[in-house]
Amino acid sequence: MNNFSPDCQSDTANSELVTWFSVQQFYAREAHLLDDLKFRKWIDLFADEAFYWMPIVSNRIGRDVGKEVGELNDLAHYEEDKLSLSNRVKRLETGMAWAETPPGKTRHMISNIVVSPGDADNQVKVVSAFLIWRSSLEVDQEIFAGKRLDTLRRDDETGWKILTRKIVIDHATLTQKSLGIFI
Amino acid sequence: MLERSANSHLDHLIDLTKGGINRQIFVDPDLYKQELKTIFAKCWLFLGHESMLPKPNDFFTAYMGEDPVIVTRTGDGKIHCFLNMCRHRGNRVCRGDRGSARQFTCPFHGWSFRNDGALTSVPGYKEVYLEKLDLDQHGLVPVAQLDIYKGLIFATFDKHAPPLLEYLGDMAWYLDMAFDRREGGVEFLPGTHKWQIKCNWKFPVDNFIGDSYHGPVSHGSAWQSGFEGMPRRKSGYGYEGFQVCPGGGHGLGVRWAMNVDQIYEMALPEFLQYEKERVPETHDRLGDLRGMHMSPMHASIFPNMSLLWQAGAVRVWHPRGPTLTEAWSWCFVDKKAPPDHRKMVRVHELQRHGTTGTWEQDDVDNWVQSTHGAKGYVAQQFVQNLSMGLEDEIDNPQSIHPDIRGRLGKFQSEINQRGFYDQWLKRMKADTSPVILGSNAEI
């Protein structure tokens, strides 16, 4: 690539910007769906073969520093496929999901989005940060923080589909009553 | 209505003849302080499983009541447990949850302790202590007794506590149904769910020890949406089951199979193949009662350990003040289980129980609301009702099966909760003597 070619550079930068903007809009729409309790529409954003995983994070010292995030086959917070995710949504629709009766009020903030090329032409890898506010009943107020590592695939209908999502939560012992939220 | 005065005797808190509990026991700070001393510093408490320390020099940290402890495996393979507290200024000497370490160095002044508890290095030992500090007297404070049952590590700070097996009594025999059903026992998967619940620690223990009554309402949403549990609900001769109260404040609930086929009928389809592999071996090891008739579901071990058999969940409910509890939850599988079954148990467990559990989330709210409800002065004038099954305890359990140990209630009965609070009251009343530690320190 000729570094001195302004056309080439602007083309590259422009296409990256377009992709980034598209991913950013996708995440913003996703966040609004979750906060507006439109969980069925949220499920539609996942590919049929999706894998949704939130490992447990622990405190490590000495030579074990770097092993904080749990591995596959360890006990995790979430280890879901599209069916179990939609069953979790189905539970919320029964009218008997008492922990969400009335539903908690959430606000998903997604930021620090970095998009990288994926394993296939129509895929990207994305890392982003989240901060989620939840308020339940009278005075219960909780914040969840962490990052998401996604593989997204281009989709004509929804812009992108989520192929894999790994959620690294920035809490070892949760001070929240549960992780009864989608991230 | 319950008579209440500032100096009411502890006896007034629990009325087992009517099944009435004074709600003060869930919120009162003075009663909580006494619990830390007479229950948590004296009882045998569950720390973790041997499989959490696979190699020499492995460690994990835990709690005994509100006291942080370190559990270590030394180079010789032995397991130890110490207060996670520097003997100088009291800092935690280990800030990790688990890992490998031969020694722990206090971040404050650098006192260094070997993983067998010995104080091995004090900065300025010559220059500032003039070699007068007695290192032998300043090792990490050990628990008074530590013992292991079927891989489960327990410890107590009470030198005079009865041996673990005596403390567990017949509950140990029933625990075999979870931890000794196949050759090699079980192992705990890496990873612990840890989260804080704004409830009194006794509510979850009460729930797990014998509340088979709450399922259809509390967990209706999970059952209706693809998160059914095992053993599955069936009607007909057999199936319904019993609450078993072996004494000591422990208890479990079981479904009842008349024959092996009924066990298979209570299995979820995805678990059936493994059940067919496991049941014959369990039957050989444990006999008719424990290996066939009883399909165990839920249990609590006094004071704060709980268990779900089929989901492979073990819990400790750490007290964090009268109205805050820290739940620690593990998932266990048979050591002989193949990889696909391990995955199935793990996913089954985490989708129902623990931090994201479709069952547990609704349980948690119940415990929080019950605790919240116990705070009001007027609410405290009305007893908590635990009367279910007072009139229909099964008189002669051996008529059901000659091997049955302990008392027996119907499947929906609060016999186990009454057994738990009976033990709670005995402990709270009887024990005013200081706890004697292994190191002869008195608290």
- Per-residue pLDDT tens digits for B363-401: 999 999 999 999 999 999 999 999 999 998 999 999 999
- What pLDDT is recorded for position A5? 45
- Identify whether B11 is a catalytic site residue: no
Active-site entry in B214, B288, B365, B392: B214
> Could you confirm whether B211 is annotated as catalytic?
yes
Candidates A54, A61, A90; nearest CB to B95: A61
Interval B197-215 mean pLDDT:
96
Q: Kindly identify which residue of chain A lies nearest to residue B105, measuring between CA atoms.
A: A62
Using the Cβ of A69 and the Cβ atoms of chain B, whether some distance falls under 8 Å is answered with: no
Q: Does any CB of chain B come closer than 8 Å to the CB of residue A40?
A: no
Q: Which pLDDT band, with edges at 50, 70 and 90, does B437 fall under?
A: low
Distance in angstroms (rounded) separating the CA atoms of residues B220 and B218: 6
What residues of A are in contact with residue B365 (Cβ under 8 Å)?
Answer: 98-99, 177
What pLDDT, in 10s, does the model give residues B54-100? 999 999 999 999 999 999 999 999 999 999 999 999 999 999 999 99
Asked if pLDDT for residue A69 goes beyond 60, the answer is: yes
Residue A82's Cβ-side half-sphere holds a number of Cα atoms within 13 Å equal to 15
- Is the pLDDT higher at B440 or at B161? B161
Bridge partners of residue A117, in order along the sequence = A124
CA-nearest of B309, B284, B51, B310 to B183 is: B284
A78 close to B (CB below 8 A): yes
- pLDDT tens figures, B413-427: 999 999 999 999 999
Please name the member of B196, B224, B360 whose beta carbon is closest to the beta carbon of A94: B224
Contact A20, A12 (CB under 8 A): no
Using the Cβ of A146 and the Cβ atoms of chain B, whether some distance falls under 8 Å is answered with no
Which among B189, B347, B364 has the least Cβ separation from residue A99?
Answer: B364
Q: Is the dihedral of CA A105, A32, B364, B231 positive or negative?
A: positive
pLDDT at B434 over 90: no
Query: In the predicted model, is pLDDT for residue B354 greater than 80?
Result: yes
Query: CB–CB of A144/A134 below 8 Å?
Result: yes
**Is B363 an active-site residue?**
yes
**Using DSSP, how many helices (H) and how many strands (E) does chain A show?**
3, 6
Answer whether B244's CB lies under 8 Å from B408's CB. yes
* Reported confidence tier of residue B435, pLDDT bands at 50, 70, 90: low
- Is residue A164 within 8 Å of A151, Cβ to Cβ? yes
| Residue B310: per-residue pLDDT | 83
Cβ contacts below 8 Å, chain A against chain B, sum to 146
Whole-number CA gyration radius for chain A: 18
How much is the ipTM here?
0.94
What is d(CA B168, CA B175) in angstroms, rounded to the nearest whole number? 9
Q: A67–B192: do the CB atoms touch at under 8 Å? A: no
Q: Which two tokens stand for residue B81?
A: 């447990």
Q: Are B320 and B326 a contacting pair, CB within 8 Å? A: yes
Structure tokens at B410: 């119907």
Q: In the prediction, which pLDDT does B4 show?
A: 41
B172 has a pLDDT exceeding 60: yes
Q: Can you give the pTM of this predicted structure?
A: 0.94
The predicted pLDDT at position B53 comes to 98
- What's the length of chain A? 183
**Partners of B298 in the beta sheet?**
B253, B308
For residue range B319-347, list pLDDT tens digits in order.
999 999 999 999 999 999 999 999 999 99
* Banded pLDDT at B238 (limits 50, 70, 90): confident
Q: Which of B216, B358, B364, B352 is nearest to A92 (CA)?
A: B358
> Is residue B127's pLDDT more than 70?
yes
Q: How confident is the model at residue B239 (pLDDT cuts 50, 70, 90)?
A: confident
The torsion angle over the Cα atoms of residues B362, B366, B372 and B373, rounded to 10 degrees, is: 150
Could you tell me the pLDDT band of residue A99, with boundaries at 50, 70 and 90?
very high
Q: What would the pLDDT profile of A7-56 be if each residue is shown by its tens digit?
A: 545 556 788 999 999 999 999 999 999 999 999 999 999 999 999 999 99
Q: What is the predicted pLDDT for the residue at A13? A: 79
| pLDDT value of position B433 | 57
